[in-house]
Chain A
């Protein structure tokens, strides 16, 4: 009873499930072609490495875009550490799909990373020495400081992904939303991202990443949300990564994956 009252009170103040890093409630989103997300409820506790996994067109990227307000959902709410995203922007870093930008854009790796500080700088202040140092530091954390002055078109796919990650790191957020960080990267980058994840978790940060590779989910992540327009299952990887759930998400033909899951 007392708990209910407390909950009602905090809702009235605009605080909602403050104990969760990410709380998605009744989220429905659609494009002209139809619904991409249907009544999704998702919870991610703080301090976990969470993967959003599901087949193509399952609405994984759409979900992240709804969280950051790039897409207006047809219905539902999103809360970040208990408050709407608008109020929590400074605590969130978003890493879009690498292929969503033009890598032939005239800019250097350092420039791109510095963009991560634009939120803190506001509209009129220019990045200075301090911002430069922070950007270099973030590049060093992903092993890319030697490429700081390199034009981004001269980087390999994996190096470009690491520049994107450095841009997120420099934001010094509490919640990192990443869209397919492992897509099309080389072995070096894959290792760098895994190390980075571990480092973030050790520092109590939360990662929510769209992931496409079922083989590596259980090794790279400790929390899993299976999505196929609707939310199929969510929870600790060990509990969610089962043949039954995967079949529900991918259809009955995931024979090989079942074996992997049961092994």
Chain B
């Protein structure tokens, strides 16, 4: 209810709209970052934006978003270039190169930031808002800038959709089709940098990577196709952005960035837990069900074997003996089999406890289970994912 009242407020509406846009763009491009295993590149890009933010401010002489974002984009790109240079020309591995580049640029940015605040006055600059993000600082002009840049990058993704998809999935195959893979990968990196940069004012350089990665990581759990993943990721990102912006606007003293990221992380937690097929809870349920049915099948085959050995398809087996053989627990397995009509209890020497026989269906089921597995496809398990 309070949210509805908040949305009536013009400033808050501006902020919410901006946050939704930033979240959606981050969600879309974050999907590609996650699938290309470039999450850490996002981290480097966002931390490395800080010196650019300060330089943009110094060059413009006042706090205007356009030069600040341009500066952020350039310094992010330089950091990415440094990573490329380090990995190509030295024996430094990618993760170390990312770390080196991130710390170098962030340290430089911090030095610049403290300098600017000393000499230009912290209040006037308000640049420290770029560390953790500040929703309230967003004005309609900023929204227009973020909106047009964000929309342009989404349009580019839509236009190059097939090429982005095939290059991300199988770069060599994409090359064989004659696609300029290096150029496509470069464009994708720039677009990811753009997604990072337009969110800096709201989320801040330290946590912006989370808004790029978290919605995509969450969406990854639910989606069967890239189309679905990207749309869902955009939705998660937008909702995180709006929820975070509104929360921080309604509670005095809450930094926007961390709140947005907390909401996004909530999506990740829920997805990791509950997503069908991939979620932890789902897999637990599957594992328990699998174990139960395996146990039931073993009891079924035991009964079948005993019947075979005694040359009597309806040989009554004693439950106590089955319990000993299967170390207890045959009662629940027998119960399951009985419910499925595969076994039935018979009156046979009641003084020695319950006795069970296989029904017609049970005998058939046992024969099916004993069929050699090799006759069906699936003998190859080498590459089978679960």
Interface residues of A (CB under 8 A from B): 65, 68-70, 86, 89, 92-94, 96, 98-108, 111-112, 115, 118-119, 121, 123-124, 126-127, 151, 153-160, 167, 177, 184-189
**Is A185 touching B172 in the complex (CB atoms < 8 A)?**
no
Q: Does B309 contact A (CB under 8 A)?
A: no
Asked, given contacts A115-B173, A188-B377, whether A104 binds B385 with beta carbons under 8 Å apart, the answer is yes
Contacts of A184 in B (CB 8 A): 380, 382-383
Contacts of A98 in B (CB 8 A): 383
Contacts of A115 in B (CB 8 A): 162, 165-166, 169-170, 173
Closest 6 CB pairs of A and B: A157-B383, A186-B380, A94-B176, A68-B176, A119-B177, A153-B385
Q: Which residue of B lies closest to A124 (CB)?
A: B159
Q: Does B226 contact A (CB under 8 A)?
A: yes
Interface residues of B (CB under 8 A from A): 35, 159-160, 162-163, 165-166, 168-170, 172-173, 175-178, 220, 223-226, 228-229, 377-385
A219 CB to nearest chain B CB (Å): 20
Pairs A–B under 8 Å by Cβ, sample size 25: A69-B175, A69-B176, A69-B178, A89-B177, A94-B176, A100-B170, A101-B170, A105-B169, A106-B223, A106-B224, A107-B226, A108-B224, A115-B166, A115-B169, A115-B173, A118-B162, A118-B166, A119-B177, A123-B163, A151-B224, A155-B384, A157-B381, A177-B176, A186-B379, A188-B380
Contacts of B228 in A (CB 8 A): 106
B302 CB to nearest chain A CB (Å): 30
CA A154 to CA B385, docked complex, whole Å: 6
Contacts of B223 in A (CB 8 A): 106
Contact of B172 among A65, A102, A103 (CB under 8 A): A65
**Is A100 touching B383 in the complex (CB atoms < 8 A)?**
no
Asked, given contacts A70-B176, A103-B385, whether A123 binds B162 with beta carbons under 8 Å apart, the answer is yes
CA A160 to CA B380, docked complex, whole Å: 11
CA A167 to CA B170, docked complex, whole Å: 12
CA A123 to CA B229, docked complex, whole Å: 22
CA A120 to CA B378, docked complex, whole Å: 34
Q: Which residue of A lies closest to B220 (CB)?
A: A106
CA A102 to CA B35, docked complex, whole Å: 9
**Is B381 touching A118 in the complex (CB atoms < 8 A)?**
no
Asked, given contacts A119-B177, A119-B178, whether A100 binds B226 with beta carbons under 8 Å apart, the answer is no
Contacts of A119 in B (CB 8 A): 177-178
CA A70 to CA B384, docked complex, whole Å: 28
Contacts of B176 in A (CB 8 A): 68-70, 89, 92-94, 177
Contacts of B166 in A (CB 8 A): 115, 118
Asked, given contacts A68-B172, A86-B178, A115-B170, whether A189 binds B163 with beta carbons under 8 Å apart, the answer is no
Asked, given contacts A68-B176, A107-B226, A119-B178, whether A158 binds B380 with beta carbons under 8 Å apart, the answer is yes
Contacts of A65 in B (CB 8 A): 172
Q: Which residue of B lies closest to A96 (CB)?
A: B172
Contacts of B159 in A (CB 8 A): 123-124
CA A105 to CA B34, docked complex, whole Å: 10
A43 CB to nearest chain B CB (Å): 21
CA A170 to CA B386, docked complex, whole Å: 28
Contacts of A112 in B (CB 8 A): 169
Contacts of B168 in A (CB 8 A): 105
B34 CB to nearest chain A CB (Å): 10
Contacts of A89 in B (CB 8 A): 176-178
CA A89 to CA B224, docked complex, whole Å: 31
CA A111 to CA B169, docked complex, whole Å: 11
7 more A-B residue pairs beyond the given contacts A96-B172, A156-B383, A185-B380, with a C-beta to C-beta distance below 8 A: A101-B169, A105-B226, A111-B226, A118-B166, A158-B383, A186-B378, A186-B379
Contact of B175 among A68, A102, A121 (CB under 8 A): A68
CA A118 to CA B385, docked complex, whole Å: 27
Contacts of A118 in B (CB 8 A): 162-163, 166, 177
B220 CB to nearest chain A CB (Å): 7
